C-alpha cells in the first residue's frame, strides 16, 4: 500500500485526486491540505510516518518557494512529484534541483498521475514529457560543463556498473574513476543540482542526455 499526501491550495484539485486514488487498492491518501506546513504539523501531531509519495503543487498561495517546499518534504523522508501546469521552466528546474522525483502536468489524464505515483513509489526515475520540456527550455539546467572523460565515467557508473568495472572498461585506474565521479558531483553542486547518491547521478545523467533510458535494475541509494 502506497501512502500518499496531497498538497495543493486548490481544493477541487485535491478532491479530484483523492477520488481517483480512492478507486485504487494500491494507494491510501493519508493527508490532503493546502501547504507543506500543515502537512508537517499533521505528521507531528499524529506521530505518523512520512508519506511514501507527496504530490505537491508547484506554486502554493502561502508565500513559500518551490525549493523550500520540496526540500522540507524530501528531508522529512518522502518522495515528491510536482503536479503543475508546468509552464514555468525556471520553477520546475528549482523543484528538480531541490530533489523532486519528477513532474506531472495537471492536464494529464488521471491514469498518468496514478502511474507516476506508482513509479516513484517503487524508487524509479520519473521520465516524462513535462520534465524534458522544462529541462530543454532552461539552458542553465544542463550547464554542469562536464569533460568528455567525466561524461564517460558518469554514463557507465549511472548505468549501474561498479566504479571498479567503470575503471576497467575505460582502461584507467580506480582512483582516477573515483576522482572523476567526485568532480562530477562537485560540478553538479556548483550549478544547484546536487547528486549525493547513485540514484541522483542517474537522474542527472538522464536529464542531461548522457544516459537516454533508465537501465534495468536502476541503482539504489549509496
* Residue-wise pLDDT tens digits, 168-198: 999 999 999 999 999 999 888 877 778 888 8
Query: Does some domain include residue 88?
Result: yes
Query: Does some domain include residue 155?
Result: yes
User: Count of domains in the chain?
Assistant: 2
107 and 160 share one domain: no
30 and 120 share one domain: yes
**If DSSP codes are grouped into helix, strand and coil, which group holds residue 197?**
coil
DSSP assignment of 10-58: -HHHHHHHHHHHHT-SSEEEEEEESSHHHHHHHHHHHTPPPPSEEEEES
CATH number at residue 11: 3.40.50.2300
**If DSSP codes are grouped into helix, strand and coil, which group holds residue 81?**
strand
- Decide if pLDDT at 200 tops 60: yes
More confident residue, 153 or 211: 153
Structural domain boundaries enclosing 38: 2-128
Query: Does some domain include residue 72?
Result: yes
Query: Does some domain include residue 190?
Result: yes
Report d(CA 73, CA 68) in Å as an integer: 9
122 and 159 share one domain: no
118 and 44 share one domain: yes
Q: What is the mean pLDDT of residues 110-122?
A: 93
Query: Does some domain include residue 170?
Result: yes
Check residue 131 and give left, alpha or beta (phi > 0: left; psi -120 to 50: alpha).
alpha
CATH number at residue 175: 1.10.10.10
The pLDDT-based confidence of 133 (bands split at 50, 70, 90) is low
> Residue 148 burial by CB count (10 A; 0-12/13-18/19+): exposed, middle or buried?
exposed
Residue finishing a domain among 128, 162, 182: 128
Query: Does some domain include residue 11?
Result: yes
- Decide if pLDDT at 164 tops 70: yes
**pLDDT the model gives residue 140:** 55
**pLDDT the model gives residue 192:** 76
**Closest by CA position to 185, among listed 215, 211, 157:** 157
150 and 119 share one domain: no
Report d(CA 93, CA 90) in Å as an integer: 5
8 and 106 share one domain: yes
12 and 106 share one domain: yes
* Residue-wise pLDDT tens digits, 68-103: 999 999 999 999 999 987 556 667 777 887 888 888
119 and 157 share one domain: no
**pLDDT the model gives residue 9:** 92
- Decide if pLDDT at 217 tops 50: no
Residue finishing a domain among 73, 94, 128: 128
**pLDDT the model gives residue 221:** 36
More confident residue, 45 or 101: 45
Claim: this prediction has a pTM higher than 0.85:
no
83 and 30 share one domain: yes
Amino acid at each position: 500500500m502506497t501512502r500518499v499526501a496531497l498538497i495543493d491550495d486548490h481544493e477541487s484539485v485535491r478532491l479530484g485526486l483523492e477520488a481517483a486514488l480512492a478507486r485504487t487498492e494500491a494507494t491510501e491518501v493519508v493527508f490532503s491540505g493546502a501547504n507543506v506546513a500543515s502537512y508537517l504539523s499533521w505528521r507531528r501531531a499524529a506521530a505518523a510516518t512520512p508519506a511514501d509519495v507527496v504530490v505537491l503543487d508547484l506554486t502554493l498561495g502561502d508565500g513559500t518557494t518551490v525549493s523550500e517546499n520540496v526540500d522540507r518534504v524530501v528531508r522529512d523522508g518522502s518522495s515528491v512529484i510536482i503536479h503543475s501546469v508546468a509552464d514555468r521552466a525556471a520553477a520546475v528546474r528549482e523543484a528538480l534541483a531541490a530533489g523532486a522525483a519528477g513532474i506531472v502536468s495537471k492536464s494529464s489524464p488521471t491514469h498518468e498521475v496514478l502511474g507516476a505515483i506508482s513509479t516513484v513509489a517503487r524508487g524509479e526515475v520519473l521520465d516524462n514529457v513535462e520534465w524534458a520540456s522544462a529541462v530543454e527550455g532552461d539552458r542553465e539546467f544542463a550547464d554542469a560543463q562536464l569533460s568528455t572523460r567525466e561524461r564517460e565515467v558518469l554514463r557507465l557508473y549511472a548505468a549501474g556498473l561498479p566504479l571498479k568495472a567503470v575503471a576497467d572498461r575505460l582502461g584507467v585506474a580506480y582512483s582516477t574513476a573515483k576522482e572523476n565521479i567526485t568532480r562530477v558531483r562537485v560540478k553538479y553542486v556548483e550549478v544547484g543540482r546536487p547528486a549525493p547518491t547513485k540514484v541522483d547521478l542517474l537522474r542527472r545523467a538522464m536529464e542531461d542526455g548522457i544516459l537516454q533510458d533508465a537501465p534495468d535494475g536502476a541503482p539504489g541509494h549509496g
